[in-house]
Amino acid sequence: MVMTWQKTLPGLGTGAVRLAKRITALSEGKLEVLPYGGGELVPPLEIFDAVSQGTAEMGHSSPYYWLNKHTASAFFCAVPGGLTAQEQNAWVYFAGGQQLWDKLYAPFGLRAFPAGNTGAQMGGWFNREIKTVDDLKGLKMRIPGLAGEVLNLLGGSSQTISPQELFTSMQSGVIDALEWVGPWNDLALGFHKVSKYYYGPGFHEAGPMLELMVNKAAFEQLSPELQRIIKVACAAENDLMAAEYYANNVRAMQVLRNDHSTDVRSFPPEVLKSFFKVSEEVVANVGSKDALAKEIYESYAGFRKASMAMTPVMELGFLQARNQNRSDA
Ligand code: CA
């Protein structure tokens, strides 16, 4: 199993290693999965090809790294203004998403299963105060993929910088802002030491789903029992990683606020409005690339719309009411 992450990266890497160990344990060693961190066997962003070609049988990554293979891959991870982790799970497991994912990956000789989630991410670290959309003009920000397109359309300048160079790029002023993940991962990398503001929410990644890719031919050679073990282990890790992120984000946000006096802010409503408006355009454009992209986009957007009609009287209504009526404020 090759991975995009280092094996020791909390959450993404450690979750992938836990998944490999669980498959090995559940199969009582009949299927021994050996994890290789990013760069150990193949470079982090070449694992799609490695698993597709059978150089490795499995890979753990984020589907939105494969926009260059098919732009619709983003729908199986996260798109700006898209689904929360709970919604993404619902769509993939029970509302047609998995079938479309299988259809998308079949020409590449791949199967993929949900295998982790970071949950809602933060908007990112800024050394410029964001009061209006004009403050995004000329903003040099590390924010990759479709979210980068959104920033560029609003006058910013998205940058692609490797995780190892993020801290020094921010410190030296090469960039004005960056997004990475959320409190847990961000605190560990020390971004609070080189940034003035920590803005949320992450309009671009409300619940990115991670994947376990399996070489299709290799998967089909396995017994039904071993195939089932892979699926069950993935489903378990999909839940565990999300829970681990949530628990650690809560803890790390307290540390940032209480121990480091981090200035945690919400983007102004006007700025969020622009982020979401432009996100709609960027995502609709992804959904118009070809017939399959259209089919995936329509399924995804249809589910999102139906969920938005429900959440005011369910999760959203509850969370708003709970915060408004808290007794410990
Ligand atoms: Ca991110």
The strand pairing partners of 60, in sequence order, are 3, 212
Distance 90 CA to ligand 1 centre (A): 21
User: Given 248, 281, 313, which residue is the final one in a domain?
Assistant: 248
b or e along 164-175 (b: 16 or more beta carbons within 10 Å of the residue's beta carbon)?
Answer: eebbebbeeeeb
Q: 201 preceded by cis ω (within 30°)?
A: yes
The strand pairing partners of 110, in sequence order, are 215
191 secondary structure, DSSP code: G
Number of domains making up the chain: 2
- Please tell me whether residues 214 and 279 are part of one structural domain: no
Residue 324 included in any domain:
no
- Please tell me whether residues 44 and 156 are part of one structural domain: no
Distance 252 CA to ligand 1 centre (A): 16
- Please tell me whether residues 64 and 162 are part of one structural domain: no
Distance 179 CA to ligand 1 centre (A): 6
CA dihedral 215, 295, 89, 99 (to 10 degrees): -40
**Cβ(288)–Cβ(294) below 8 Å:** yes
- Please tell me whether residues 107 and 36 are part of one structural domain: yes
Kindly tell me if the per-residue pLDDT of 81 is higher than 90: yes
Residue 306 included in any domain:
no
Residue 232 included in any domain:
yes
Closest C-alpha among 263, 265, 144, 258 to residue 205: 144
Predicted local confidence at residue 209, as pLDDT: 98
Residue 253 included in any domain:
no
Distance 52 CA to ligand 1 centre (A): 25
- Please tell me whether residues 60 and 190 are part of one structural domain: no
Closest C-alpha among 286, 7, 249 to residue 117: 249
**Cβ(176)–Cβ(128) below 8 Å:** yes
Distance 301 CA to ligand 1 centre (A): 21
Predicted local confidence at residue 163, as pLDDT: 81
Residue-wise pLDDT tens digits, 112-136: 999 999 999 999 999 999 999 999 9
Residue 305 included in any domain:
no
Residue 263: strand, helix, or coil = strand
- Please tell me whether residues 166 and 78 are part of one structural domain: no
The CATH number of whichever domain residue 271 belongs to comes to: 3.40.190.10
Residue-wise pLDDT tens digits, 246-273: 999 999 999 999 999 999 999 999 999 9
- Please tell me whether residues 220 and 155 are part of one structural domain: no
Q: Which residue type, as a one-letter code, is found at position 174?
A: V
Distance 205 CA to ligand 1 centre (A): 7
Residue 193: CB partners within 8 Å, gap ≥ 6?
A: none
- Please tell me whether residues 106 and 165 are part of one structural domain: no
The strand pairing partners of 214, in sequence order, are 58, 111
Distance 171 CA to ligand 1 centre (A): 19
Distance 35 CA to ligand 1 centre (A): 23
Residue 304 included in any domain:
no
**Cβ(271)–Cβ(132) below 8 Å:** yes
Distance 145 CA to ligand 1 centre (A): 10
Tokens of residue 75, six digits: 């729908």
Exposure on the CB side of residue 264, measured as CA atoms within 13 A: 19
Question: d(Cα 249, Cα 303) in Å, to the nearest integer?
Answer: 27
- Please tell me whether residues 106 and 213 are part of one structural domain: yes
Residue-wise pLDDT tens digits, 175-189: 999 999 999 999 999
Distance 180 CA to ligand 1 centre (A): 4
Distance 121 CA to ligand 1 centre (A): 6
pTM: 0.96
Residue 322 included in any domain:
no
Distance 28 CA to ligand 1 centre (A): 36
Tokens 């499995």 map to which residue? 58
Kindly tell me if the per-residue pLDDT of 164 is higher than 90: no
User: Given 179, 214, 248, which residue is the final one in a domain?
Assistant: 248
Predicted local confidence at residue 154, as pLDDT: 98
* Domain housing 53: 2-120+206-248
Tokens 């957007």 map to which residue? 301
What is the pLDDT of the chain when averaged over all its residues?
97
Distance 123 CA to ligand 1 centre (A): 8
Distance 220 CA to ligand 1 centre (A): 33
- Please tell me whether residues 111 and 235 are part of one structural domain: yes
Residue-wise pLDDT tens digits, 275-294: 999 999 999 999 999 999 99
- Please tell me whether residues 111 and 173 are part of one structural domain: no
Tokens of residue 155, six digits: 């006058």
Distance 27 CA to ligand 1 centre (A): 34
Distance 181 CA to ligand 1 centre (A): 4
Distance 126 CA to ligand 1 centre (A): 14
Distance 300 CA to ligand 1 centre (A): 20
Residue 9 included in any domain:
yes
Predicted local confidence at residue 162, as pLDDT: 81
Helix, strand, coil % (nearest 5) of the chain?
55, 10, 30
- Please tell me whether residues 91 and 192 are part of one structural domain: no
CA dihedral 101, 107, 110, 115 (to 10 degrees): -20
The CATH number of whichever domain residue 40 belongs to comes to: 3.40.190.170
